[in-house]
Amino acid sequence: MGRPIVAILYDFDKTLSVTDMQNFSFIPAMGMTPDEFWGETTKFSQKTGCEKILSYMYMMIKCGNDKGIKISREFLQSCGKNIKYFPGVSTWFKRINEYGESKGVKVEHYLVSSGTKEIVEGCSIANEFTELFGCEYLYDENGNAIWPKLAINYTQKTQFLFRIAKGVGDMNDEEGVNRKTKEYRIPYSNILYVGDGMTDIACMTLVKRNGGRAVAVYPEGQIESVKGMYSDGRVDFVCKADYSAGSDVEKVIRMHIDDVALNNDMQKKQLSLLNK
């Protein structure tokens, strides 16, 4: 048996970052406030019936065109530089990786977001993720965003549980992600999902149903926003969005790693007994 892998899947907006990623630099660059941009997005969605994620992606291009700002990959990546995170996020990944190593477990971090992948690519923690899954654009020959290349809404997030478990990151590999298999690169029981609210429920429920664990995080003083998710059985834990050393989130993740390590040791022991 090889070294077990723990996969931690994260939402981004209001899970790792304190608010929507577009609010920090992109929306101010458009000369708008977050309330104005998201308000216009909602109006557009209601008027046209366009799905909400596709609506915000359309509005980002429209606002850029209206302001004469080229919506290129480079511009969007530059909008990730000023993102503010909850406490402890900047050192979180190193600490959790080191704890996993101390237990003989490899930890992999995955972002599964309905936000803009290119903005995340420009943020300070982008390199901490094994893979980034988010909404992204198709660009023309001049580098202008012209069409959604990938749009991930709240229920579409669920496919990434299967992709990550099977090690199928290529979005065009439909055969691989749907192939029935007995051997998973990462067993579902080793997967943990961290999110902040209603938009994560489909993923949280699926992770739990398949033997993994789900954690709902909340900003300081706002535990009421996630209590219902626990009482409804949607999540295993609710914790304040504080990723500092010794925080409740860290304790929960460590327990999950401990559990995976223990299960792996028990399986090894059973195999050794069978082979006597």
Longest dimension (CA), the chain: 74
Are the beta carbons of 202 and 155 closer than 8 angstroms?
Answer: yes
Per-residue pLDDT, 117: 98
Element of type H or E holding 250: helix 248-274
Beta strands in 167-246 (DSSP E): 191-195, 213-218, 237-240
Instruction: Determine the Cα–Cα distance for residues 114 and 198; give it in Å rounded to an integer.
Output: 13
Write out the two tokens for 28: 């101010």
Q: What is the mean pLDDT of each run of 10 residues along the chain (276 residues)?
A: 90 98 98 98 98 97 97 98 98 98 97 97 98 97 97 92 88 72 87 91 93 95 91 93 98 97 86 78
Closest CA to 77 of 110, 138, 120: 120
- Residue 73 gets which letter from DSSP? H
- Residue entry with tokens 């990462």: 186
d(CA 100, CA 186): 15
Q: In the prediction, which pLDDT does 1 show? A: 59
Q: What is the pTM of this model?
A: 0.94
Burial of 148 (0-12, 13-18, 19+ CB in 10 A): middle
Q: Which two three-digit tokens encode residue 124? A: 């300070």
Strands 131-139 and 145-150, sheet pairing: antiparallel
Look-up of token digits 């000369």: 31
Tell me, what's the pLDDT at 179?
Answer: 72
In 122-247, which residue ranges form alpha helices assigned H by DSSP? 159-166, 174-178, 201-209, 224-231
**The amino acid at 209:** R
Q: Specify the pLDDT at position 62.
A: 97
Nearest residue to 211 (alpha-carbon basis) of 196, 191, 229, 237: 191
DSSP codes, 130-152: SEEEEEEEEE-TTS-EEEEEE--
